[in-house]
Structure 1
Amino acid sequence: MTTKPEITWADFEKLDIRTGTIVAATDFEKARNPSYQLEIDFGDLGVKKSSAQITSLYAKEDLVGRQILAVVNFPKKQIANFFSECLVLGVYGEDPKDITLLTTSLPTKNGMQVG
């Protein structure tokens, strides 16, 4: 497995990774690949939407109330008729369709920053 090019500390500091709690998850029927539309509460940052290809390991009913990690400072990205406002973070499995969500080991306040 190869690694990506080395970055500087300043590059890492540009990422705004926060904790959030999924408050809604619905099927994203217009997506090319099986996906959910998520609404995620980031505390003082408000609720942001994201499209996530996590259907192989997670039922949408099991996602509500789950705390996750996401990058919140990307520009909005249009996917079909939906605007994704953050990038939910996960780890690819042996099968790239099997994505395990990243979370904290203990609950945290929504919107807390990773650093």
Structure 2
Amino acid sequence: MTMLAENPAGDLEAQLWALRGRGFRFLDPRDDQGEVVALVGVRAHHDVLDVVRLHSESDVVAARMPGDSDVLAPARVLWERAGAAREVLDAMLALPDDWVPRPAGGCR
């Protein structure tokens, strides 16, 4: 897979460095031939997990889930975006660290 090799340095690289600066740790799972299948970043904070999965420049998923979630199959997702890298990573970077949805019918 040449996902990152095809993308010139610029916005995506800057966004990945910004995520890393916020505490994301990245790994690159590989298939049986050793090819990268995705770039996955995870950050634990404020009793939540933030996860980004980059499969290609146009196929990115970012999510926030409770801290005790199974990142591969979360039972509950608090926030999620999917789409092109630039928009999805911008949305994750703009998400306040302490943001969690209010319970329905809760006090304001």
With the shorter chain as reference, the TM-score category is 0.3 to 0.5
Q: Quick check: which one's strand share is greater? A: 1
**Larger RCO (CA under 8 A, 6+ residues apart):** 1
User: Which structure has more helix as a fraction of its residues?
Assistant: 2
TM-score with structure 1 length normalisation? 0.36
